[in-house]
Amino acid sequence: MLVLGLQGSPRRKGNTHFLLSAFLEAAARRGALTRTVSVNEADIQPCRELGVCERRGICPIRDDVSREVYGLIREAEVVALASPVFFYGMTAQIKALVDRCQVFWARKYRLGLADPRRTTRRGFVLSVGATRGKNLFEGLLLSARYFLDAIDAPLAGSLLYRGIEAPGDMARHGSVREEVEAAVESLLAPLLARKRLLFLGGENGRRSPMAAAFAGRRAADAWQVLAAGLRPAAALQPGVAEAMAEKGIDIGFERPRSLEEALAHGRPDVVVALDAEAAAVRLEGARHEFWELAPAETEPLTRLRDALEARVDDFLGREAGQR
């Protein structure tokens, strides 16, 4: 499970950096994978309001957001937005990233697409400010709430510290470590308690991403769903994302992953092989299934999609019956 931190302060070793690092370290100690996007060091251009995302659900601006951050946000199950208060809002650097996430807003509200992880992903806000006023975090929290809604990571909690100004102030705070531990524990415990289900194929470009998306949509609260290929392709096969979009499911930012990448999330409880080569793989401690598809089920792509949806429904029904 990926916990993604968006570090919005231009100070490399300042208070926000300290707070987010403590949050991600607490998540890693509990078994989560973690990543940080330091927005001040990344190539992030502001939104130019070209309108392409509203029509087609993509952003034509080529930078680190389109190259990497969109995919990380979709992969993450916890997104922590971390920013100091600058003039009662978030920093300009992180606001630029937030605005570029209009892509997710458009895919969700204009194009009617649903992210398979939308039921489980959670958002969290970490912030610091120098003064102590009652309204110090209101502007930042209002923007953050709408951003987190757009990326399907509803605000689950926040840690906000007043009177924090000089770079070492946060580290000197008496109770921050305990407060971070408690917040991370309650946020992650239900997500880490899920069993892991891995769909394994050849290229992870066609069958396994479709199966994983159906399983994620139906049962992400009970299963951490992963997909991988023995020889991962560079991208999903043409037409796969469009076929899933016909079902209202958004896998537009998915990319094929290797088995090693999937196993970094932890040992799977169940491995579903989607071709004969994958069926030969044995992972210690996992239960293995092989879903052999009839030739008629695999052509055209929409028939394969519907066959996989039926298999996933059947699998989840069986598993729910056993619980």
Ligand X SMILES: Cc1cc2nc3c(=O)[nH]c(=O)nc-3n(C[C@H](O)[C@H](O)[C@H](O)COP(=O)(O)O)c2cc1C
- Which residues lie near ligand X (CB under 6 A)? 9, 11, 14-16, 84-88, 128-131, 136, 164-165, 167
- Structural contact between residues 124 and 187, judged by C-beta atoms closer than 8 angstroms: yes
Amino acid, single-letter form, for residue 108: K
Length of the chain: 323
Please identify which residue in the block is written with the tokens 């806000």.
125
Dihedrals phi, psi of 91, to nearest 5 degrees: -70, 160
C-beta of 173 vs 288, nearer to ligand X: 173
From CA 120, how far away is CA 190, in angstroms rounded? 10
C-beta of 9 vs 158, nearer to ligand X: 9
For the bound state, the minimum distance from the C-beta of residue 106 to ligand X, rounded and expressed in Å, comes to 31
120: phi then psi, degrees, rounded to nearest 5: -110, -25
Q: Give Cα separations from 49 to 59, 100, 135, 272 (angstroms).
A: 10, 9, 30, 43
96 vs 128, which CB is nearer to ligand X?
128
- Letter string b/e over residues 213-233, b meaning 16 or more CB atoms within 10 A of that residue's CB: bbbbbbbbebbbbbbbbbebe
Closest approach of ligand X to the CB of residue 245, in Å = 39
Beta carbon nearer to ligand X, 159 or 241: 159
Residue 168 CB, nearest approach to ligand X (Å): 9
For residues 278 and 230, is the Cβ–Cβ distance under 8 A?
yes
Of the pair 49, 138, the CB lying nearest ligand X is at 138
- Least separation in angstroms between CB 39 and ligand X: 12
Least distance CB 278 / ligand X (angstroms)? 46
Least distance (Å) from ligand X to the CB of residue 140? 9
Task: Provide, rounded to whole angstroms, the least separation between the CB of residue 86 and ligand X.
Answer: 4
Distance of CA 168 to the CA centre of its chain: 31
Residue 169 per-residue DSSP state: T
Closest CB to ligand X: residue number: 14
The residue whose two tokens read 């209101």 is 138
Residue whose entry in the numeric block shows the structure tokens 């208060």: 85
